[in-house]
Structure 1
């Protein structure tokens, strides 16, 4: 294995292990918030969409869980009054999910808890410059995998 391959592998393992460790702590902080981190992730992804609504199939591409898990989770969020589902008026095969007023309120409440947790566990470990560098590096790593990215021509 070349030194570049070893360096890439070591960097990936470090990033992955750090993400796992931080996610464990964040999940614990969510336990007391009355919402799972996966529920928050779904609400987050809907909240950042225009009019706080998205096609279910598009939501599936943005969240960290499987398609079948998203469908079940959406049904639970509908039952709790945080999300509503309806047919897409332009495509009868599609389902639209949208945040309700209660969903927006709950998303904001839990979002404050989540932001405080991130500040404690991530922000407290790095300087502002290091946080900016981390963000830039993560965005560069993620860019080729974005749905709208095109492979570079060689």
Structure 2
């Protein structure tokens, strides 16, 4: 059985992971595609794009984001006003409201997403080779799964 890491080793690894993410996110936020929508707004559209066709309840959408529920609700209001998402009654529970992409929202998400993926490829692909990218994916997947299992 492998030796457990020290508190210092885990703290250093966490700090490195966090700083890396901050550095990359700051660079990506400067890109032209995020002049039209903020990265957080894009993240909402991205998550709705991956959702079932009927959409997501606000609470379910919020599980994939780093926003408070009131902040997300205000953002949804802004996205509704821009015609990118709609609120509609949940057909399986008429008391609940689903958030879904409009056609315009799906088009904006696709367009920005294509540019975003190209820029991510430039940043990550310019720094890591294919084997390192696979290792990174495996490590981050293992971390995510471990935390999810702990939450139960």
TM-score by length of 2: 0.89
Cα distance in 2 between the residues matched to 1:46 and 1:77: 12
CA contact (8 A) 1:30 1:36 kept: no
Cα distance in 1 between the residues matched to 2:103 and 2:61: 19
| Aligned match of 2:142 | 140
Matched, 1:98 2:100: yes
In the TM superposition, residue 151 of structure 1 has moved relative to its aligned partner by: 6.2
Q: How many residues align?
A: 149
2:60 to 58, 61, 67: 58
| Aligned match of 2:79 | 77
| Aligned match of 1:13 | 15
List alignment gaps of at least 5 residues for structure 1: none
CA pair 32-143 structure 1, distance change in 2 beyond 3 A = closer
In the TM superposition, residue 38 of structure 1 has moved relative to its aligned partner by: 0.3
TM-score by length of 1: 0.88
